[in-house]
C-alpha cells in the first residue's frame, strides 16, 4: 500500500461546511491532483474516514462515487480490497492553460452577478414566475443521469431567476456568465449525487424567494456557487 505523502491531518481535517459533499470532493480531488495522495494510495476505511472528516457515511459514499466516476479513485472488492487512488489518466481533450489559470476569476464574476440577482429576485419575483421556476426544478430531478439535459434546464433556471428581477441588464449578464460556466464544467464529471445536491440547493433558493427572504436567498445562492467551485477545484486537471 502506498503511503500518504503528508500528515493525514492535512488531507483529512474535518469538513465544516454547508456543502459537505462538494467540499469532500474538493479536498480529496485536490490532494490527488497535488500528489499528496499518490497513485496506489489506499484511503482509510469508511468509518475512520467519516470520523476524520466529520461527515456522515452517506455523504462520504457520494463523494467517493463522484471521484470514482471522474477517474480519481478506484474501488477493489474482496480481501485486500478498498478504495485506492487511481493512476492518472489525462482527459481526451484537456482544458487550455488559460482556462485553468482563469477559472476562479470566472467563478468570482458569477458570484457577483448571481448574488445580486438572488437579492432582487427575492424582492421582485411574482408568484407566476416562481411557479414556473418550481416546474424547472421538478424537471431537473428527472435529468440527474443525463447531464446534457440537466445543464439545459439548469441554465433555464438561473436565467429564469434573473428574468424574475425584471432587469434586462441582469438577464444579459446571467446569460453570459452561464455560457462561461458551461465552458468550465464541460471538463469535469457530473455524478448523479452531485447533481441531486445541486438541485436541492435550487429548491432551497426558490423557497427563500417565495418567502421574500432576501438574506436567506443570498446565503443559499452563495452556498450553491461555492459548491460548484469545490467540485471544480477537486475535479479540474491541475494547471
Q: The CATH number of the domain where 35 resides is what?
A: 1.10.10.10
pLDDT of residue 69: 85
- From residue 146, give the alpha-carbon distance in Å to each of 71, 109, 128, 151, 195: 19, 27, 28, 9, 10
Contact 133, 163 (CB under 8 A): no
Domain residues for the domain of 12 are 8-85
Helical (H) or strand (E) element with 73: strand 73-76
| Residue 219 to residue 225: CA distance in whole angstroms | 10
In this predicted structure, the answer to whether residue 91 has a pLDDT above a threshold of 60 is no
The answer to whether residues 121 and 49 belong to one domain is no
The answer to whether residues 120 and 224 belong to one domain is yes
Model confidence pLDDT, tens digit, residues 134-178? 999 999 999 999 998 999 999 999 999 999 999 999 999 999 999
Torsion of CA 177, 92, 20, 18, to 10 degrees: 0
- Long-range CB contacts (within 8 A, 24+) of 77-83: 82/42, 82/43, 82/45, 83/42, 83/43
The answer to whether residues 230 and 155 belong to one domain is yes
Domain assignment present for residue 2? The answer is no
Contact 239, 100 (CB under 8 A): yes
The answer to whether residues 217 and 112 belong to one domain is yes
Tell me the whole-structure pTM to 2 decimals. 0.78
| Residue 204 to residue 18: CA distance in whole angstroms | 13
- For the chain, the domain total comes to 2
Q: The CATH number of the domain where 227 resides is what?
A: 1.20.120.530
Mean pLDDT across the chain: 88
Q: What is the mean pLDDT of residues 174-189?
A: 88
Amino acid at each position: 500500500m502506498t503511503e500518504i505523502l503528508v500528515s493525514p491531518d492535512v488531507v483529512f481535517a474535518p469538513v465544516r461546511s454547508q456543502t459537505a459533499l462538494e467540499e469532500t470532493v474538493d479536498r480529496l480531488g485536490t490532494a490527488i491532483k497535488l500528489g499528496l495522495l499518490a497513485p496506489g494510495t489506499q484511503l482509510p476505511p469508511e468509518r475512520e474516514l467519516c470520523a476524520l472528516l466529520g461527515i456522515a457515511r452517506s455523504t462520504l459514499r457520494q463523494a467517493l462515487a463522484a471521484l470514482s466516476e471522474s477517474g480519481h479513485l478506484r474501488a477493489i472488492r474482496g480481501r485486500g480490497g478498498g478504495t485506492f487512488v487511481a493512476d492518472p489518466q489525462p482527459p481526451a481533450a484537456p482544458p487550455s492553460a488559460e482556462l485553468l489559470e482563469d477559472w476562479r476569476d470566472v467563478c468570482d464574476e458569477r458570484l457577483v452577478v448571481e448574488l445580486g440577482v438572488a437579492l432582487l429576485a427575492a424582492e421582485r419575483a411574482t408568484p407566476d414566475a416562481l411557479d414556473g421556476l418550481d416546474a424547472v426544478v421538478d424537471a431537473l430531478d428527472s435529468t440527474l443521469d443525463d447531464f446534457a439535459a440537466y445543464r439545459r434546464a439548469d441554465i433555464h433556471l438561473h436565467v429564469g431567476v434573473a428574468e424574475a428581477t425584471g432587469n434586462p441588464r441582469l438577464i444579459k449578464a446571467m446569460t453570459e456568465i452561464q455560457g462561461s460556466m458551461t465552458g468550465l464544467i464541460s471538463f469535469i464529471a457530473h455524478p448523479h449525487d452531485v447533481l441531486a445536491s445541486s438541485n436541492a440547493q435550487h429548491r432551497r433558493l426558490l423557497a427563500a424567494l417565495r418567502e421574500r427572504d432576501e438574506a436567506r436567498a443570498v446565503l443559499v445562492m452563495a452556498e450553491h456557487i461555492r459548491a460548484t467551485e469545490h467540485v471544480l477545484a477537486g475535479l479540474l486537471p491541475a494547471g
